[in-house]
């Protein structure tokens, strides 16, 4: 990972940390594990899946998305007391001259992020039933944020992951979005 990619991940992470903590500094230590597992693991899963196919992949932040997210979050926090979360802050960029021709690889790479969220979300949800107190609350938050991010990213709207998965395989898309939706109902 090069220094720019680390910086881009860190800026995006800190933006999401502000939003998910509702701009409350005291909440940040409790929210940080959820944002790390939901956002960073999601993006790294895309990156690792792309590299598995032999593609060069790296995360790049989207500064316009970060500004939109912060402004929207601040405005909704002021108006309603709760920040609305806009989570399109960047993406893993994949470079290979033949990438667009391999729809299956592109679909599987897109599915890797939401699948990482589902796995982490289910593990955290299951674990949260065995502990209580602050640790149980953190695990519940990790589950909720991961499962929400999986479902959000599976919407079939460009440039979200769901659009790419649907283009590759409507069946895999339907199953994954159905699982993500169902798990969100549990949390």
**61 bridge partner residues:** 90
138 Cβ contact partners less than 8 Å away, ≥ 6 residues apart: 30, 33, 34
**90 bridge partner residues:** 61
The pair of three-digit structure tokens given for residue 187, joined into one six-digit string:
């949390």
d(CA 58, CA 74): 29
Assess contact for 129 and 169: CB atoms under 8 A: no
The pair of three-digit structure tokens given for residue 121, joined into one six-digit string:
């979300």
Preceding omega of 66 cis (within 30 degrees of 0): no
Which pairing describes strands 90-95 and 56-61: parallel, antiparallel, or unpaired?
Answer: antiparallel
The label of the residue with tokens 């701009």 reads: 23
Of the residues 5, 7, 24, 43, only one is catalytic, namely 43
d(CA 92, CA 109): 10
Is 5 annotated as catalytic? Answer: no
Active-site amino acid positions: 43
């Amino acid at each position: 990972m090069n220094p720019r990619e680390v910086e881009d991940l860190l800026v995006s992470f800190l933006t999401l940390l502000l939003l998910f903590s509702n701009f409350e500094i005291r909440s940040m230590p409790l929210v940080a594990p959820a944002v790390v597992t939901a956002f960073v693991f999601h993006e790294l899963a895309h990156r690792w899946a792309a590299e598995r196919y032999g593609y060069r992949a790296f995360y790049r932040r989207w500064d316009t998305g970060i500004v939109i997210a912060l402004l929207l979050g601040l405005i909704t926090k002021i108006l309603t007391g709760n920040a609305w979360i806009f989570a399109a802050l960047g993406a893993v960029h994949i470079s290979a001259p033949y990438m667009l021709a391999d729809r299956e690889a592109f679909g599987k790479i897109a599915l890797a992020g939401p699948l990482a969220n589902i796995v982490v979300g289910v593990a955290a949800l299951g674990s949260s039933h065995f502990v209580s107190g602050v640790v149980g609350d953190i695990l519940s938050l990790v589950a909720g944020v991961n499962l929400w991010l999986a479902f959000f990213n599976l919407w079939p709207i460009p440039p979200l992951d769901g659009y790419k998965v649907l283009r590759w395989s409507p069946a895999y898309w339907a199953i994954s979005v159905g699982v993500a939706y169902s798990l969100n109902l549990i949390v």
